[in-house]
Amino acid sequence: MNSGSIHVVFGDSARLTLLSSQEMAPHVDSVISLNDDLRVGPTVNLSQSNSIIDRQSWLTQNNPCLIEREYFCSNVSMDIQKIQDLRAELKKDKKIYIWCGRRTLDLLGTARLVFELENHFESLVITDIPEIKIRSKFGHDYIPECLGVMNPEEVHLIEKYFRSLSEQDCKSWVKLWTRLMSENKALRISSTDSLIESVEESYFDTTLLSNCTNQFLNAARVIGKTLFDIQFEASDSTLNWRLVHLAESKRLNFTGRLNCMREYMVKTLDTKT
């Protein structure tokens, strides 16, 4: 790994982990975090201005939490600018190191990034974190799901697994992103065979309903239980969108303000005996 290299991670927690690694510090010139959650919302032609507006509008309309809307919309435009900056760095013969974990978030982010930088794939270097077993500082072996769940002092253990992106790898990532764009659905998840698939907006509704009872529960509690059930395949914001939808469509009773998940409670509909 060359000094002065540019590293791409997915999410602020991954960025903090890498920047906190003392062993990696001499090899890292800059860390770019792509934060747009591509598991949800339209993803067609995100390099075009009208598609950017469409995605931001969708995220605004389908995010009931008012204080989160600006954050999610800003991630859309900021990631586009970051990718443009990366493209400019590649023209200077810089190497881009991609920290791809097994989370759907990382896989989607990598697919989109490789799609955008396809013409420069020879300058892309990637590590396949899911294939790596490491010894933690606590003495046990584990396979990290992504960079963000690792301890900073363990990060250097996977440095040797970086490899140049092959032309075939590049084609596979581009094919994945092209397919997902053509499907143009609202949600994307990892299936049991580790493939990314598009699903309907209602995909998580049944699980949310199963975690509701005939007594009012705080929405955050229902969402928290659902996150574990779906193995964190969606964000709490996405589940909040769906839970609000269930309340607004009268499939659940609610009390409070249908906004952020700590501002309302839900329960199952009363049934006549």
Q: pLDDT tens, 41-67?
A: 999 988 888 999 999 999 999 999 988
Eight-class DSSP state of 215: S
Strands (E), the chain: 5-10, 28-34, 96-100, 124-128, 134-135, 141-142, 163-164, 187-190, 196-199, 217-218, 253-256, 264-267
The alpha carbon of residue 24 and the mean position of all alpha carbons in its chain are separated, in whole angstroms, by 24
What is the DSSP annotation of 137-180? Answer: TTS-EE--SSGGGS-GGGGGGGGGG-EEPPHHHHHHHHHHHHHH
The model carries a pTM of 0.91
What pairing do the DSSP bridges indicate for beta strands 124-128 and 163-164? antiparallel
Phi, psi of 125 (to 5 degrees): -125, 135
% residues pLDDT > 70 (the chain): 96
pLDDT in tens, the chain (273 residues): 565 589 999 999 999 999 999 888 887 889 999 999 999 999 998 888 899 999 999 999 999 998 899 999 999 999 999 999 999 998 888 899 999 998 999 999 999 999 999 999 999 999 888 677 787 777 888 888 899 889 898 888 888 889 999 999 999 999 999 999 999 899 999 986 668 999 999 999 999 999 999 999 999 999 999 999 999 999 999 999 999 999 999 999 999 999 999 999 999 997 654
32's tokens:
């770019």
Q: What is the per-residue pLDDT across 187-225, written as a single tens digit (0 to 9) for each?
A: 999 986 668 999 999 999 999 999 999 999 999 999 999
The alpha carbon dihedral of 50, 115, 90, 156 has a sign of: positive
Q: Which residues pair with 256 in a beta bridge?
A: 264
Eight-class DSSP state of 48: S
